[in-house]
């Protein structure tokens, strides 16, 4: 009987030292040792308590620690998901606001382009000629170079060339002369980089005088090629 008590006390001392050692390492293993001791004692008496303490400190304690860490990770993960969801919602709201701003800017730009296009399309620039001549006068060269530069850099812009002649001479000759004048202006623009598709041509001879009154001054203004510009808004907007 005494031997059994001594063994039991030794086992309890061993269990106690195991518990103390466990609390020095981690709280979880200490809790596991105590839990194991209680379970072991209820099942196998003092010997079971000692073994339970040893096993509980190594296994149950780790399980308790792992469970706590997993719980913290789950909480942290949930908090992170909430933060990400809030950021995603904020980003979606920002995207919506940006889309509205872009639409408004696009509408304003289109309105401005339409206004400028109307002004651009109303412009008419004449090139005057000497009597019976289709030669481009030197003082028009600079003007034509500037026009060619604009057209070559803006392929959505076209120019319409309309040729005229005064009422001196017969109508057949004047018609041919107005056609030749248009060809001269067209060829000059082409030689400066304007595309053929950008140039439209018409010739009216003497059929459309500026004034019905026949005079030296009016005849001068009738000998001309009129350049009128047009901007293809639909093509420009489709290419943006």
What is the predicted pLDDT for the residue at 166?
A: 94
12 within a domain of the structure (yes/no): yes
101 within a domain of the structure (yes/no): no
Question: Which of 35, 57, 73 is the endpoint of a domain?
Answer: 73
115 within a domain of the structure (yes/no): no
The 10 Å Cβ neighbour count of residue 236 is 16
Measure the CA–CA gap between 98 and 16, rounded to whole angstroms: 69
In sequence order, the β-bridge partners of residue 230 are 158
What is the predicted pLDDT for the residue at 237?
A: 55
118 within a domain of the structure (yes/no): no
| DSSP-assigned letter for residue 138 | G
What is the predicted pLDDT for the residue at 158?
A: 92
What is the predicted pLDDT for the residue at 26?
A: 53
Domain of residue 25: give its range.
Answer: 2-73
152 within a domain of the structure (yes/no): yes
* Same-domain pairing of 233 and 145: yes
* Same-domain pairing of 48 and 141: no
Number of domains in the chain: 2
What is the predicted pLDDT for the residue at 22?
A: 43
| pLDDT per residue as tens digits for the range 171-205 | 999 999 999 999 999 999 999 999 999 999 999 99
From first to last of the 240 residues of the chain, give the pLDDT tens digit: 444 454 444 444 444 544 444 444 455 555 555 554 544 444 444 544 444 444 445 555 555 556 666 676 677 677 777 877 887 888 888 777 767 766 665 666 566 656 666 665 667 899 999 999 999 999 999 999 999 998 999 888 899 999 999 998 899 999 999 999 999 999 999 999 999 999 999 999 999 998 887 788 788 899 999 999 887 666 555 555
Measure the CA–CA gap between 240 and 236, rounded to whole angstroms: 7
36 within a domain of the structure (yes/no): yes
- Helices assigned H by DSSP within 60-170: 61-121, 141-153
**Which residues lie closer than 8 Å to 237 by C-beta, 6 or more apart?**
110, 113
150 within a domain of the structure (yes/no): yes
What is the predicted pLDDT for the residue at 219?
A: 86
What is the predicted pLDDT for the residue at 207?
A: 93
What is the predicted pLDDT for the residue at 38?
A: 47
What is the predicted pLDDT for the residue at 214?
A: 76
* Same-domain pairing of 143 and 230: yes
Question: Which of 34, 52, 73 is the endpoint of a domain?
Answer: 73
Element at 231 (helix H, strand E): strand 224-231
**Is the whole model's pTM more than 0.85, yes or no?**
no
Whether the CA torsion 179, 185, 190, 191 is positive or negative: it is positive
90 within a domain of the structure (yes/no): no
Is the CB of residue 190 less than 8 Å from the CB of residue 176? no
* Same-domain pairing of 234 and 168: yes
| DSSP-assigned letter for residue 136 | P
């Amino acid at each position: 009987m005494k031997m059994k008590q001594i063994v039991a006390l030794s086992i309890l001392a061993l269990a106690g030292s195991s518990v103390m050692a466990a609390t020095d390492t981690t709280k979880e293993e200490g809790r596991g040792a105590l839990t194991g001791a209680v379970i072991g004692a209820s099942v196998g008496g003092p010997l079971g308590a000692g073994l339970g303490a040893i096993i509980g400190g190594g296994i149950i304690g780790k399980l308790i620690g792992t469970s706590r860490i997993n719980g913290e990770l789950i909480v942290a993960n949930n908090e992170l998901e909430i933060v990400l969801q809030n950021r995603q919602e904020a980003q979606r709201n920002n995207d919506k606001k940006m889309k509205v701003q872009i639409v408004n800017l696009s509408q304003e730009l289109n309105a401005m382009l339409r206004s400028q296009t109307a002004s651009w399309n109303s412009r008419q620039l004449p090139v005057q000629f000497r009597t019976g001549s289709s030669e481009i006068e030197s003082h028009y060269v600079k003007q034509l170079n500037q026009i060619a530069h604009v057209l070559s850099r803006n392929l959505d812009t076209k120019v319409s060339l309309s040729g005229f002649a005064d009422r001196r001479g017969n109508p057949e000759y004047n018609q041919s002369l107005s056609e030749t004048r248009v060809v001269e202006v067209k060829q000059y623009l082409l030689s400066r980089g304007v595309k053929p598709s950008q140039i439209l041509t018409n010739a009216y001879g003497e059929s459309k005088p500026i004034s019905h009154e026949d005079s030296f001054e009016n005849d001068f203004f009738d000998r001309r090629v009129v350049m009128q510009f047009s901007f293809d808004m639909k093509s420009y907007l489709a290419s943006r």
